[in-house]
Amino acid sequence: DAKTTQPNSMESNEEEPVHLPCNHSTISGTDYIHWYRQLPSQGPEYVIHGLTSNVNNRMASLAIAEDRKSSTLILHRATLRDAAVYYCILRDRNNAGNMLTFGGGTRLMVKP
């Protein structure tokens, strides 16, 4: 799977929007962009994924650049419970059974 680059950490104030960037300049045409997050002392949990179009769900929105070389996870109103490490991961849709390869992720800190 192609590599992604994320900032090590970001800070946000509670109830403000958060934009978490991810660069994936070597993305291939069959790679989905997945986001997972890991709360302290827990296993990762799925957040959202997309291919080309922007995506929204109850947890977040995913904005994908037109050239697909970058994407942004948007939390519309950060809460203290959103403090976690957020991982941006590319997964080839032709290899649905493959494992996920985790990079360093972005540690999001939310201030009250």
Partner 1 sequence: GAVVSQHPSRVICKSGTSVKIECRSLDFQATTMFWYRQFPKQSLMLMATSNEGSKATYEQGVEKDKFLINHASLTLSTLTVTSAHPEDSSFYICSARDARKNTEAFFGQGTRLTVV
- Contact positions vs partner 1 (CB under 8 A): 34, 36, 38, 41-46, 49, 87, 93, 96-97, 99-105
The nearer residue to partner 1, 66 or 99, going by C-beta atoms, is: 99
Query: How far apart are CB 16 and partner 1 at their closest, in Å?
Result: 26
The nearer residue to partner 1, 39 or 65, going by C-beta atoms, is: 39
Diameter over CA atoms, the chain: 42
Distance in angstroms (rounded) separating the CA atoms of residues 107 and 86? 6
Query: How far apart are CB 76 and partner 1 at their closest, in Å?
Result: 21
The nearer residue to partner 1, 48 or 78, going by C-beta atoms, is: 48
Query: How far apart are CB 27 and partner 1 at their closest, in Å?
Result: 18
Query: Across-strand partners of 19?
Result: 74
Q: Which residue has the tokens 């300049």?
A: 25
The nearer residue to partner 1, 34 or 68, going by C-beta atoms, is: 34
Query: How far apart are CB 4 and partner 1 at their closest, in Å?
Result: 12
DSSP summary character for residue 106: E
